[in-house]
Every structure is written in C-alpha cells, then in structure tokens.
C-alpha cells in the first residue's frame, strides 16, 4: 500500500509558533492557498481513499484535495493533533516562563507525561498505531491519502519505520507538505519526506 501523508495548510497559530493541539482553528489565507496548491499537485494521483482529521484546518485541506479528485473525505478522529491542554495558544517561550516545572517534566518523560489537561505522546502513539493497523488490514486498496497534523504524522512515520515514537522530533513535516510511505508485509519504505516544492515562495529551514 502507498500512503500519501499531507499536513494541513497553515493557520494563524502556526505562523505565530503557538501550540495548537485540539484548538479548532481554520486555515489562514496563506493556509488556504497552500491547500489549493496541494489539490493541484495531487489532482492526477490515483487515490483510492482519503481520510482526514476532523479538525477544521485538516478538513478544509482535505476537502480541497477531494474536490480535485472528485472524491469524498472520510473523517478519522484518530488523526487529530495531540492535545496540549492548558498550553494551547501559548508559544514555547511563554511556556518556559509560565510552566517551567511542568514543561521540564514533560520534556524529560514525554511518552508518559501529558501537559496539564492534555495528552501524552504515548497516548497519541496508541491511537495512531491503531489507525495504521487498520490501514494495513485493508484489502485491494493501493493508495490512501491521510490529511493530519505534525504530531500524528511524525509519530506515524516512526511507527511505520520501526522507530520509537519519542524519536518523532527527528522528522520535519511542514504545513502543506507531502510525505509518502510504501507499506509492505516486511516493513515500510520512506519514499518522500516533507516535500513542499508545490508551495511557491515557501521555504523550509531548521
């Protein structure tokens, strides 16, 4: 099976580097343009199924792509971003200032520790792995498109490639990007990572 992994277009909070999580913001003007560019890029792809997080930013992105395909989007709550609880809406410097102890604990044990009122990386990995297992069980489906968020997509890459979920930070997955996995019974091959060449004027960086 071929998995095409798309991160939703940009929101205002993405541009401001704020933790977004489950906060349900729509795409910004720039994010809408990115979704349209994704739709143009993927229009000729032979996609059998489209699953999307039901968060607005992902759903809007998926709908643009589905329209170009003449297809329907299937909602998949397991593709939602990790919940950051009371940290949502804050930047990293604001977290360091307001919640230094909780932030340090979370960074020390991210798999088992959740932001206050939020979700741990381990909990995210459980639902993403369940989704991946369901995809592996599909018969006679060649290409599936998943529209999701940075956290779930990076964790999915780790799980498919046999890496620990805590290594998710090693993958860069930008808003509006396309990545691709080929799934085989023996394992997965990473065919494409964080491709944004279809986004005119967008430049990545470390």
Residues annotated as part of the active site: 8, 149
151 in Cβ contact with 171 (< 8 Å): no
Beta bridge partners of 7: 148
Rounded to whole angstroms, the maximal C-alpha distance in the chain is 52
d(CA 17, CA 186): 38
Give the angle subtended at the CA of 184 by the CAs of 125 and 162, to the nearest 5°. 35
Sheet holding 74-75, edge to edge: 74-75, 49-52, 143-148, 2-7, 178-184, 187-195
> Please, what is the end-to-end C-alpha distance for the chain in angstroms?
31
């Amino acid at each position: 099976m071929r998995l095409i992994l798309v991160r939703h277009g940009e929101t205002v909070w993405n541009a401001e580097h704020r933790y977004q999580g489950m906060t349900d913001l729509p795409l910004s003007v720039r994010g809408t343009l990115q979704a349209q560019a994704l739709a143009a890029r993927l229009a000729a792809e032979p996609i059998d199924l489209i699953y999307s997080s039901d968060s607005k930013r992902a759903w809007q992105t998926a709908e643009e792509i589905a329209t170009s395909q003449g297809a329907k989007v299937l909602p998949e709550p397991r593709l939602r971003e990790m919940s950051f609880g009371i940290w949502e809406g804050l930047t990293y410097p604001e977290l360091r200032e307001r919640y230094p102890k909780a932030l340090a604990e979370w960074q020390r044990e991210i798999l088992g520790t959740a932001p206050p009122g939020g979700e741990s990386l381990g909990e995210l990995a459980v639902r993403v792995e369940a989704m991946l297992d369901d995809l592996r069980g599909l018969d006679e489906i060649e290409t599936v498109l998943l529209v999701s968020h940075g956290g779930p997509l990076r964790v999915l890459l780790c799980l498919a490639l046999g890496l620990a979920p805590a290594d998710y930070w090693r993958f860069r997955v930008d808003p509006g990007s396309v990545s691709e996995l080929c799934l085989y019974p023996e394992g997965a091959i990473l065919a494409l990572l964080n491709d944004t060449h279809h986004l005119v004027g967008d430049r990545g960086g470390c």
